Structures are given as structure tokens and as C-alpha cells.
């Protein structure tokens, strides 16, 4: 094995190693999730080198420099104030979803008009219309971090794979017998997973367009699915109140997470793949050990259904959004609520951290999105202007652009 190059990864903090093995170029990452401004860099480098034979003594100074740069970046907390940049009347019929590519240079919108549109964020101009579905385009995604492909899932029971550059359709994945309502690329961008109202999920090969596996086992609709960071596990959340963990390489069931007593609204892994967070209509979130499938904590306090939940990039914080109009921040380590986010006048359907982990973004049926301080729970900004409920909102990778999608049929770019 021969080390070719080192790359910095800011969010979450880490170093990527590009190396050659048997003539093939491979990558691996060293995650530095606990890195802080006061970390002893020399001791950390020594520890890393003990564990990673690719990092020989000749690389010591370079690794030190990289870690110091990461420390500097962590010290620069984003205190960005957002201003409305553009209002886009995206489609004639209602929007279903909005998604950004990693850098935030472009984004996509899905709609009841059966199309997905690709937009340039900086100019607000439409770059392409992806046409071909015969019903509502509901689930949409870029193959981040690459961002050269788009997947669209439709009520016409098919998923399509498109080129970002040309707008050409590479493949149409057929096989589901009901609407596709969620989808995701694996991190390696070799597979697309689709979840359907037909109670199954399917994995599709991006290269040849073939179905790889059908994941059977749920007794009701699948409404949420996501891969872990390494791409070897996938989780599906269902209206049958359960979440299933699957082996993405074999299509086999690994664990069934049983504990919620109502429909699942969200299910996702933390960055290091050790925990799974599930949100449910039963007003709780549950934390599970990703290895053995055991519940390790139930996060309570909301008075109504949990509509969304998420980890920050490092996995230290958890945020929950509820139909009760509040959001909460929990410590993943202590499982205690550390802040309550109050101010919205309607249900909160979307919540996410910025990549730096010091801000939270919420979208609500009260027609506003809000930016919050993730430590104190204080509302820092209200993004006003939409004339109907906001169902989608997201930060870009740098955390300096926000996009909101509303039932008023517009997208707003804030930067």
C-alpha cells in the first residue's frame, strides 16, 4: 500500500487518505469527531500514526498542519445573517421536495407537474427540466458528494436516474407496484435505494440499471430510508411502526427495531454509524445501538407527533421537530434535553443543523423558517415572506446558503 495524497475534510472534521493498493486507487478517512480548539495536536498525531501505518514519520508535519487548520476552522463559528436573494416561481403545480447539491451551486425541485427542475443557485436560472415521469415527482436527490447525477422517484411507481450536465435520462428503474416516496444514493454512488407504498424497498445498480435486491419484511408503507456513512447498511422506516436495518451488500435483514407504537417519520444513522435515531408519530424519538439493534434511550417531552429528527455532523447533538410547534435539542451522550426551541406558531416539519453544528434551521406550517443557536436554543432569525407552509428547507455544505420550499409554489434562496 502506498499513500498518494492527504485531503482535509472540514465537516465533520477529518483527514481523507488516497492510497494505492494492488494498482487500484482507494480512499479511507480518519474521523476526528472529538477535535476541539484545545486538543493537543502533537499527542493526537502520535495516536493517529500508531493506528494508521500509511502515515509514516515523513508525513508528521503535514498531518500536524492539517489538524491545526481544522482547529482554526472549528474556531470560526458561523454567525451568518441570511438575506433573501431570490424568489423562484418554480413550477405551475405544487412543489413536493427541494434538494441542494453539496456545494450549494445548484438545486433541484420536484413537483406535481411530473417534472424535476435543476436550478443555478447564484443566478436563480433554470438549467434543465427533467421530463418523462407520468405522475407526481415526489422524492428527489443528488448523488452527493459527487453531484453529477440526480434520482427522481415518482407516484408512477418508477425511479429515474439523470445526468446533471445534460439532463439525459440514464435509466428508468421499474419494479415497484405502488408510489415511490423516498430514495437515497449510497455514499459511493454505486446504488440507489427506493422506498415505496408497496411495503418494499429496492436497491438498483447505477451502472447497468438493474435491480440488485428487493428488501421485503415490512407490513406497511416505507416512508423513510437512509444509508450509513460507510454504505454497508441501510435502514427503512415504515408505517408498521418498525425500522429495519439491512445489509446493503447482501440485501439481508440485520435487525428489526421494535419499540415505537405509531408510524415512523424519520430514521437515520449518526456519522460514525454507532447509533440510529428514529422519530415517530407516537411523540417520541428513540436511540438505538446500530450493532445489536437494542434501544438505548427514548427521548420524550413533545406533546404531539415527531415530524423530523436529525444528528449534527459529529453526532454529539440530536434535534427533534414536532407538530406541537416546538423543536428540542438533546445531547447524544447524556440523552438529556439541553434546549427547547419555541417561537413557531404551527407544526415544524423540517429540522437540520448547519455543517458547523452551531445553528439549526426549522421550517414550519406558520409560513416561516427560523435560524436558531444550537447551544442556547435562542431564535436568531426569522426568514419571512412565504405565503403558505414551508415543507422543505436546507443548508448548503458551507452553511452560508439556505433554501426554502413552500406550498405557495415558490422556492426562496437566502444567503
The mean pLDDT of 336-342, rounded to a whole number, is 98
Q: Grid coordinates representing 371?
A: 435560524
Predicted confidence (pLDDT) at residue 79 exceeds the cutoff of 90: no
Give the separation between CA 92 and CA 106, rounded to whole angstroms.
Answer: 20
* Predicted pLDDT at 78: 72
Residue 365 lies in a domain: no
Question: Number of folded domains in the chain?
Answer: 1
Chain mean pLDDT for the chain = 96
* Predicted pLDDT at 265: 98
The mean pLDDT of 148-165, rounded to a whole number, is 98
From residue 72, alpha-carbon distances to 28, 75, 367 in Å are 23, 5, 37
Give the separation between CA 159 and CA 178, rounded to whole angstroms.
Answer: 12
In the chain, pLDDT over 90 holds for what percent of residues? 96
The mean pLDDT of 182-201, rounded to a whole number, is 98
Q: Which of 353, 273, 276, 314 is nearest to 33 (CA)?
A: 314
Q: Are 356 and 77 in contact (CB under 8 A)?
A: yes
Q: Are 269 and 290 in contact (CB under 8 A)?
A: yes
pTM of the model: 0.95
Residue 183 lies in a domain: no
pLDDT band at 399 (very low <50, low <70, confident <90, very high): very high
* Structural domain that includes position 24: 2-75
Place of cell 480512499: 27
> 25-34, 150-159, 344-353 — which is least confidently predicted?
25-34
The mean pLDDT of 102-124, rounded to a whole number, is 95
Predicted confidence (pLDDT) at residue 31 exceeds the cutoff of 80: yes
* Predicted pLDDT at 74: 84
Q: Is 370 left (phi over 0), alpha (psi -120 to 50) or beta?
A: beta
Give the separation between CA 294 and CA 286, rounded to whole angstroms.
Answer: 10
* Strand segments (E) across 342-396: 348-353, 359-364, 369-373, 379-383, 390-395
* Predicted pLDDT at 76: 80
The mean pLDDT of 213-236, rounded to a whole number, is 98
Residue 45 lies in a domain: yes
From residue 22, alpha-carbon distances to 2, 19, 30, 292, 378 in Å are 9, 10, 21, 34, 53
The mean pLDDT of 239-247, rounded to a whole number, is 98
Residue 13 lies in a domain: yes
Residue 20 lies in a domain: yes
* Predicted pLDDT at 240: 98
Amino acid at each position: 500500500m502506498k499513500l498518494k495524497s492527504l485531503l482535509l475534510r472540514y465537516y465533520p472534521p477529518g483527514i481523507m487518505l488516497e492510497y494505492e493498493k494492488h494498482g487500484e486507487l482507494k480512499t479511507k478517512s480518519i474521523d476526528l469527531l472529538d477535535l476541539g480548539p484545545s486538543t493537543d495536536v502533537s499527542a493526537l498525531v502520535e495516536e493517529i500514526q500508531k493506528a494508521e501505518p500509511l502515515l509514516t514519520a515523513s508525513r508528521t508535519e503535514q498531518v500536524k498542519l492539517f489538524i491545526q487548520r481544522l482547529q482554526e476552522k472549528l474556531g470560526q463559528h458561523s454567525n451568518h445573517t441570511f438575506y433573501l436573494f431570490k424568489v423562484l416561481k418554480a413550477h405551475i403545480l405544487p412543489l413536493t421536495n427541494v434538494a441542494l447539491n453539496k456545494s450549494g451551486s445548484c438545486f433541484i425541485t420536484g413537483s406535481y407537474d411530473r417534472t424535476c427542475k435543476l436550478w443555478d443557485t447564484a443566478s436563480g436560472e433554470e438549467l434543465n427540466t427533467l421530463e418523462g415521469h407520468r405522475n407526481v415527482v415526489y422524492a428527489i436527490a443528488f448523488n452527493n458528494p459527487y453531484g453529477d447525477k440526480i434520482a427522481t422517484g415518482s407516484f408512477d411507481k418508477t425511479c429515474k436516474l439523470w445526468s446533471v450536465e445534460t439532463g439525459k435520462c440514464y435509466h428508468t428503474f421499474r419494479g415497484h407496484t405502488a408510489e415511490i416516496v423516498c430514495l437515497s444514493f449510497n455514499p459511493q454512488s454505486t446504488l440507489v435505494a427506493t422506498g415505496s407504498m408497496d411495503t418494499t424497498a429496492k436497491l438498483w445498480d447505477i451502472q447497468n440499471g438493474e435491480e440488485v435486491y428487493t428488501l421485503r419484511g415490512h407490513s406497511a408503507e416505507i416512508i423513510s430510508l437512509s444509508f450509513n456513512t460507510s454504505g454497508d447498511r441501510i435502514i427503512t422506516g415504515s408505517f408498521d411502526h418498525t425500522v429495519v436495518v439491512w445489509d446493503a451488500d447482501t440485501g439481508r435483514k440485520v435487525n428489526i427495531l421494535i419499540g415505537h407504537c405509531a408510524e415512523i417519520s424519520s430514521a437515520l444513522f449518526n456519522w460514525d454509524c454507532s447509533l440510529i435515531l428514529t422519530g415517530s408519530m407516537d411523540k417520541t424519538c428513540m436511540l438505538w445501538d446500530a450493532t445489536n439493534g437494542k434501544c438505548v434511550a427514548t427521548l420524550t417531552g413533545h406533546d404531539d407527533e415527531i415530524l423530523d429528527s436529525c444528528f449534527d455532523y459529529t453526532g454529539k447533538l440530536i434535534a427533534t421537530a414536532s407538530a406541537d410547534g416546538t423543536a428540542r435539542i438533546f445531547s447524544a451522550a447524556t440523552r438529556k434535553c439541553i434546549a427547547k426551541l419555541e417561537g413557531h406558531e404551527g407544526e415544524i416539519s423540517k429540522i437540520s443543523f448547519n455543517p458547523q453544528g452551531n445553528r439549526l434551521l426549522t421550517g414550519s406550517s406558520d409560513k416561516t423558517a427560523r435560524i436558531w443557536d444550537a447551544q442556547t436554543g435562542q431564535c436568531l432569525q426569522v426568514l419571512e415572506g412565504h405565503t403558505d407552509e414551508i415543507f422543505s428547507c436546507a443548508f448548503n455544505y458551507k452553511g452560508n446558503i439556505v433554501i426554502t420550499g413552500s406550498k405557495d409554489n415558490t422556492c426562496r434562496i437566502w444567503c
